[in-house]
Amino acid sequence: MSGKACRSCAPRVGIAYRPADKTVIRLGYGLTNDPYSLARALRANHPVLLTLNFTAPNSLVAAGTLKNGLPTVTAPSLGNGVIDIAPNIAVSSALPEFERGYVQSWNLTVEREMFSGFTGQIGYIGTRQIRMLGYHDLNTGRIGGGNASRPFNQKFGRTVRTAAYGPIGNSIYDSFQTSLQKRFSSGYQMQASYTWSKSLGIANTANSDGDPNIKIPEYYHLNYGLAPIHTPHNFQLTSIIELPFGQGKRWANGGGTASALLGGWQINNIVSLIAGQYFTVNASGTSLNAPDNTERADYAKEGKPTIIGGAGPNQSFFDPFFFKPLPLTDVRFGTSSFDSVQGPGTVNMDFGIFRNFRISERLQLQFRAEAFNLTNTPHFANPPNAGRNVSNMILNPDNSIRSLGGYTVINATKGTGREGVDERLFRFGVRLSF
């Protein structure tokens, strides 16, 4: 389907077929116009927000000193209705011929009723994002050229970001998904699901609102690869279990003390096993000397980097010698790919115990005790920016490590636990129903 046709239509179609009483096959396709709002990309544009930049000649020279104080910000004149943009004011706008992209999605699943009330499902789900949106920096520096190579610096003396918002490329998502579930019966409910997936796209644009890492048009293809949101494996298990004690249950159902103490209990849990997301190893951009572009490290070894698994001060998460800085005489991009190292995965279990008390025919009191991250397993984040830059590592003359300088080091957790608290958290509550 052509891009022009996508401007005026967004078809969706679904088919369900039952070849047997216990089997259903489902097939679906949908096309959606890119919902990303231009108001978000341009809401803080000049002159609503004055983004004042002072650019140094290169990475070895300061742009200014604190001794001279903060630069004066001059408000733009609105007298004649034409707003001039100063050479050191960054600005964004839409491309002159803006063409909105679209997203195609399709799926094929097979669901079957199995033994003892269990239902299984297996399927393929895929999406294609065509002409995903992002920023084109029209004033980026060229390799080895420094600020002098910026196109608008040569024409107008501009040395700051001058970006146009519009399509920057395509993204791909393919996944194999399977699940096994049992609806609540006989006192318990369970669902297990597993997803294998692969996501490809433009580096640093996971949310369709970023700048590609490499902005020079002739090297733009180097941005394409694994997306930073790529999560190859995701397993989830949830269950609700009513303990078989008390009235109407298998044991201690005759009333009395045992029934009063043991009846009405319910156990819930959620188990998550999620593979880590990928990140990029960078290097110093001094020799590259291409302002606003991200320098990549060189590969020093073949294959994939060894994950050592360390976390904390001076502990390497991955092999520090798998990458190396570029020689100062090499004016080029590094040989490594963006998002080439997989970060720490997540193992988590949330657990809860509920107890129901029947006060009267209409009133019921429920006591809840919940533990988030029951096993108190740390969920480490990817290394920060300093931990991803191979140029921070200092070697001795014999090539042994004198200082990691933060390189390969993890110093934080993801903070993705319940209420943003990563460590084990207990919570108690009471609920009155009537």
CA distance 67 to 63: 12
Q: What is the pLDDT of residues 204-213, one digit of tens each?
A: 887 667 889 9
Q: At residue 257, what are phi and psi to the nearest 5 degrees?
A: -65, -45
Q: What are phi and psi of 53, to 5 degrees?
A: -120, 140
User: CA angle 429-433-434, nearest 5°?
Assistant: 160
Q: Are strands 162-185 and 188-202 parallel, antiparallel or unpaired?
A: antiparallel
Prior bond to 397 cis, omega within 30? no
Do 325 and 297 meet the contact criterion of CB atoms below 8 Å apart? yes
Partners of residue 162 on adjacent β-strands: 91
Cα-based angle 45, 49, 54 (whole degrees, multiple of 5): 100
In the chain, what is the straight-line distance between the N-terminal and C-terminal CA atoms, in Å? 56
> Under DSSP, is residue 270 helix (H, G, I), strand (E, B) or coil?
strand
SS3 225: strand
The string of DSSP codes covering 356-409 is: EEE-SSS-EEEEEEEEESTT----BPPP-GGGGBGGG-EE-TTS-EEE-TTTTB
Beta carbons within 8 Å of 334's beta carbon, 6+ residues apart: 283, 295, 296, 297, 298, 326
Please calculate the CA angle 23-29-31 and round it to the nearest 5 degrees: 160
Closest CA to 26 of 108, 123, 146: 108
What does the pLDDT read at residue 190?
92
The pLDDT value recorded for residue 355 is 86
How many CA atoms lie within 13 Å of 198's alpha carbon, on the beta-carbon side? 4
What is the SS3 assignment for 57?
coil
Domains of the chain by residue range: 1-64+85-181+197-228, 233-434
pLDDT at 258: 66
Please give the angle made by the CA atoms of 345, 266 and 268, to the nearest 5 degrees: 10
* 333, 222 Cβ separation under 8 angstroms: yes
Task: Show the CA angle centred on residue 278, arms to residues 273 and 280, nearest 5°.
Answer: 160
Q: Residue 62's pLDDT is what?
A: 82
Are 266 and 243 in contact by the 8 Å Cβ rule? The answer is: yes
Report the distance separating Cα 111 and Cα 115, nearest Å: 13
Q: Tell me the C-alpha to C-alpha distance, in Å, between residue 319 and each of 278, 382, 388, 419.
A: 15, 14, 12, 34
Q: Give the pLDDT of residue 41.
A: 78
> By C-alpha distance, which of 103, 126, 115 is closest to 195?
126
Cis bond upstream, residue 47 (ω within 30) = yes
Work out the angle at residue 325's Cα, subtended by the Cα atoms of residues 319 and 330, and round it to the nearest 5 degrees.
150
In contact, 34 and 133? CB cutoff 8 Å: yes
Give the residue ranges of the chain where pLDDT is below 50: 1-3, 5-6
Neighbours of 343 (CB within 10 A): 21
- Note the pLDDT tens digit of each residue in 254-297: 666 666 677 778 889 999 999 999 999 999 999 999 999 999 99
Q: What is the pTM of this model?
A: 0.82
